[in-house]
Amino acid sequence: MQPLRVGVVINPGASLEPWVFDLVQRLRQDPGFDVCALLVAEARSSRSGSALLGLASKLDAALFARPSGYEMPPEVWRDLPRHARRALTDDPALALTLALDVLIETVQVPDFPDVATYGVWTFDFCDAARMGAFAFWESLTSAPLTPATLLHFSAAGEPGQVIATAAFNTKFSAARNAAYVKARAVSLMVRELRTLAADRRLPKTLGARPAPPPPATSIDTLRYGLHLAGSLAGRAGAKALDLLGVHMNEWAIHVGRGEAPFIDPRATRPVQSLKGQFWADPFLFHEGGGDFLFFENYLHSERRGRISVARLHDDGYEFLGDVLAVDDHLSYPFVFRHDGQIYMMPERHMARRLEIWRCVEFPLRWELHATALEGESPADSVLHHDGSSWWLFTNLTGDLFQDHCSELHVFKVDGPDLTSVEPHRLNPVVIGSQYARNGGRMLRKDGRTFRPAQENSHGVYGYGINVMEVTELTLKTYAEHPVHALRPDFGPGLIGCHHLDSSGEAFVIDVCRRWGGVDRPRRAGLGPRPQQSWGRPARRLRSGRTAKKQPPSSAHGA
C-alpha cells in the first residue's frame, strides 16, 4: 500500500515548538507516511487573554516549561520539492497541487476546501482562541485532568468534528501543563494517522468540537499568580521536610480477604514497613502452601528501590530479605509461573530495557533470563496468557517529560523467553493519564479478563485504580472499558492508591499517605521487633542475597 501523503502547516519562525518538531520527525521516520510538504503560514492573532496574561505566560514558560523550540534539520527541507516548502497563502492552489491525503495544521490558517482527500487535521490547542490560554484554566482551577482533542475539517466553513481525545494529569504550572499535554498528544495524532493509512477510512467522529474557554482577564492572571506561588511554596516546604527526614506522600501496603477485582479496600489491614523504608507495588505469589509478598522496598538512605519479599501469616508476616538489588531503581516485581518455573519481571526502566528473571532458589535467588525492548524505557510491565497467545502490556515513553503514565503499549510475544516481540498495530492502544498505566497483573474471573490501571489525576501520581475489562485483544484490535474504581477515600490521610493484585482469596493494594513518617536513627544490627502482627513485622529469618548485575550478552535478546 502506498504511504499516506501528508502535508504539515508550520509557523515561519526560526524554530518549532517541541511537539511540532516531534510530530514531523515521527511521521518522517514511519514508512507508512510520506511527508511531502511543509507549508509555512502565519498563525492568526490570538484573543485568548489580556496583555498581562501574555507577559505571565512568557515568564511561566521560561521558568517551568521544557525547551522552547527546535530548528528543523536542513536535510528535511532538502528532501522536499521546492514548491512544497513555500509559504501558504489564501490561494488554495498551492495545497491542491500537492495531491495530499491529509493536511495537518499546527497553526491555524484561513479555511480552504478540498485540499486533501481526508481533510484537515488539527488539535484544539492550535485554535487561535485557545493558543494563549491552553491549559491555563485547568492549572488555575486544579482540574483533575487536562484534555487534548483531535479535530477533523472536511470543508471550509464547516465546524470541526472530534475524531479522538485524551486527558492528562494536570500540572501545577500552566506553561508546563500545556507543553506536557502537547507532547503527549503527538502519539494520539500518529496513532490515528497510522490507522487511516492502513484502512483508508476516516475514524468515526465523536461529536462537534468543544467550545473554547472564555478569555482570561487580568484578574484571572493575578489569581493564577497566587495559585502558582502557593504551589511552589508547598513544593519547597515538602523538599525541606524531606531533607530533614520528614517524608510526605509515602506508600504503604494493605492486605485483605476477598475476590479480586471487585474488592472492598476498607476490609484491609496495613503492613508496616521497616524503619527508613516505604513499601509499594505489591505482588502476591502462592508457593508451598503459603502466600508470599513481593514488593518494591524503597530505602530513603539510598533514594532508590530494591525488590524484597515477605511471607504472610494470619496474624502477621515474616520479612525474608532482599530479592534483587542493582545499581539503579527497581520496582513492580511481577511474579508468575510458567512450565514449572517461577519468573519475575521487575521494572527497571533506568536500564532502558525489559528484563525477566528466573528463580533458582525460592524465594531469594534469581538469575537474569531474558531481555527485550533494548533502548526503550518500559515501566510497570506484565505478561498475560489468554489461553492461546502471550501478550506483553507495558508503559513506554520517549519524550522530554519521561512520563510513563500516558501510553499503554501491547506486544505479542512467545512467552518468558521474549525471543519474538511483535508490536500491536494500534500502539499505544490506550492514551491518557486516566487509564494507560498498569496497576497490577491481569486478572481472570468467570471467563472475563481484567486489567488494573492507575488513574493519575488531581495532580497526584497514583490517585486511584480503575479496573478495566478487556473485551478485544488481537494484533489489530484492542478494546477495554472501566468496570470498577478504587479511590483514596477509605482511610484517613490517604491521597492515592495505585496497585492491586490477588492470589486466591487474598488481595493486596498499596496506598499513599499525605504524611509518610520520620527517619529515626537505628543502632547497627537492631532488627524488627519479634512480634506477630500486621502492624509490626515478625522475626527476620535471614538476610537476602543481592543479585549481581548481569551483562546484556547473558540474556536472550529480542
DSSP 3-state assignment of 225?
helix
Give the per-residue pLDDT at 528: 39
Q: Specify whether the CB–CB gap between 145 and 170 falls below 8 A.
A: yes
Q: Give which of 302, 344, 342, 307 is closest to 322, Cα–Cα.
A: 307
SS (H, E, C) 158-217: CCCEEEEEEEEECCCCHHHHHHHHHHHHHHHHHHHHHHHHHHCCCCCCCEECCCCCCCEC
Give the per-residue pLDDT at 551: 33
Spatial separation of the C-alpha atoms in residues 354 and 372, rounded to whole Å: 5
β-pairing, 341-347 vs 354-361, is antiparallel
Give the per-residue pLDDT at 183: 94
pTM (two decimals): 0.89
Q: Specify whether the CB–CB gap between 196 and 3 falls below 8 A.
A: no
Give the per-residue pLDDT at 553: 30
Phi, psi of 317 (to 5 degrees): -150, 160
Which residues in the chain show pLDDT less than 70? 13-14, 42-49, 68, 77-96, 110-113, 128-132, 156-157, 516-558
Q: Give which of 454, 461, 468, 310 is closest to 384, Cα–Cα.
A: 468
Cell of 529: 521487633
Signed CA dihedral, 99, 104, 105, 111: sign only = positive
Give the per-residue pLDDT at 113: 55
First to last CA, the chain: 28
Q: What is the pLDDT of residues 104-127, one digit of tens each?
A: 999 877 665 577 899 999 999 988
Cis bond leading into 552, ω under 30°? no
Q: What is the pLDDT of residues 26-73, one digit of tens each?
A: 999 999 999 988 887 766 555 556 778 778 888 888 888 877 678 777
Full set of structural domains in the chain with CATH:
4-236 (3.40.50.170), 247-370+433-554 (no CATH)
Q: Give which of 513, 438, 80, 442 is closest to 254, Cα–Cα.
A: 513
**Ramachandran assignment for 44, one of left (phi > 0), alpha (psi -120 to 50 degrees), beta (any other):** beta
Spatial separation of the C-alpha atoms in residues 349 and 305, rounded to whole Å: 12
Q: What is the pLDDT of residues 287-301, one digit of tens each?
A: 998 999 999 999 988
